[in-house]
Amino acid sequence: MVTGANSGIGFETARMLAERGARVVLACRSLEKAAVACNAIRMAVPDAELSAVRLDLTSAESVREAAATVSAEFDRIDLLVNNAGAAFGALTLIDGIDRTFVTNVLGPFAFTGLLLPRVLSAPAGRVVTVSSGSHEAGRLDLDDLAYTRRGYGRWRAYARSKLANLLFTFELQRRLAAARERAVAVAAHPGAAATEFGRNSGGLTRIASAPPLRWVFAPLVATAEEGALPILRAAVDTDVRGGEFYGPDGFHGIKGSPHKVQPAAAAEDPAASEMLWEKCEQLTGVHYPLPQRSL
């Protein structure tokens, strides 16, 4: 299962998995766009086993409905790729919480928790959550998810959410290990890739991604297919271990071959990850079928 699979890195991840015989579920906010993506994959892989489910990570109801639909259809999930994400230009609150945090953190936390029984039913289930190199600039403030104490900034909010993605991954791995489960949690980041994410962003990122300048910056960034490779390595490499983090090996992790990378120290703080986990449980009402691990 790949979230945000209708375009960019999510699409390339879904396509390459399908090419290698995986049955892939595309979880997308728009079923129409998911259908277009499925047709595009079938052009390259005529016998691809594909299906789609509507998933709006900003809606608790949509997350629960999507998880229920998938759980009813499949008795196991070998791989869940939490790829969907966003960086919103203006502060928009959903139930008093920054929309970027809801989309990138709370939605995936709830979706993963609701599907975890199916992941645990797989012989070697794996959860891959897509973070970003920008997590290094992230500052977690769980008491100010509405940015009342500090002004909102698109990339400040994004960096916070990507740090939270890593804290979530490492905490999930700790809990899986404590429960002696075979499933593992892994993180990855694509570097800087030329995708719709950049073109839908604001400021210099959008300008650099626009058609007049795109050709100038193209040699400096990865293609969507190249950006998907660290996610795919985290997803299928049999040498990958739970709690690892993968990204490009080039200059500043912008592009290159996928390899294991070292996260920022803030991402490996077990006390912070425990606090984030408890906050996510409180805000989503989703509790994982795993014992609480001790600090």
Is 186 in contact with 127 (CB distance < 8 Å)? yes
**Active site (annotated) includes residue 158:** yes
Residue 66, burial from CB neighbour count under 10 angstroms (0-12, 13-18, 19+): buried
Among candidate residues 134, 124, 139, 151, the one with its CA nearest the CA of residue 235 = 124
**Catalytic choice (147, 158, 246, 288):** 158
Q: What is the 3-state secondary structure (H, E, C) of 86-111?
A: CCCCCCCEECCEEHHHHHHHHHHHHH
The whole-angstrom separation of Cα 125 and Cα 188 is 16
Chain centroid, CA 35 distance in Å: 21
Count CB atoms within 10 A of the CB of residue 284. 20
Ramachandran category for residue 221: left, alpha or beta (phi over 0 → left; psi -120 to 50 → alpha): beta
* Helix (H) / strand (E) containing 286: none
- Residues catalogued as catalytic: 158
